[in-house]
Amino acid sequence: MKIGGCGTLEEIASATWLKFARDIGMAAPYVRGRVLALASAAREHVEQVATDLLNASALDDRETGRLVDLIAKRAELLAATASGEASSLGFSRRPLRRRARADT
């Protein structure tokens, strides 16, 4: 799903939310407020979700930590773009798991 014409987190900037608001027929301050609220909720609840995953033995400690870091960083970047502080161009993707090298 594209947001304001941007298909990746790296493309999202402050102006993206203005375009997105226009595209969906909503007021820009409302859209920015919702993005900030959702990013805040994600950061607030990610630790509890991680604890639940660990208790359920769904992921190991290292992978859970990497997942928490990834979600928190993405939420922070979205909040920064919605508040007009920065674009997310500094964000670089990395896989959750490192690919195992095939034995040759």
Measured CA to CA, the distance from residue 3 to residue 28 in angstroms comes to 13
pLDDT tens digits, 1-24: 788 888 888 888 888 999 999 999
pLDDT of residue 95: 47
Q: Which amino acid is present at 78? A: L
Evaluate if pTM is beyond 0.95.
no
Over its C-alpha atoms, the chain yields an Rg (Å, rounded) of: 16
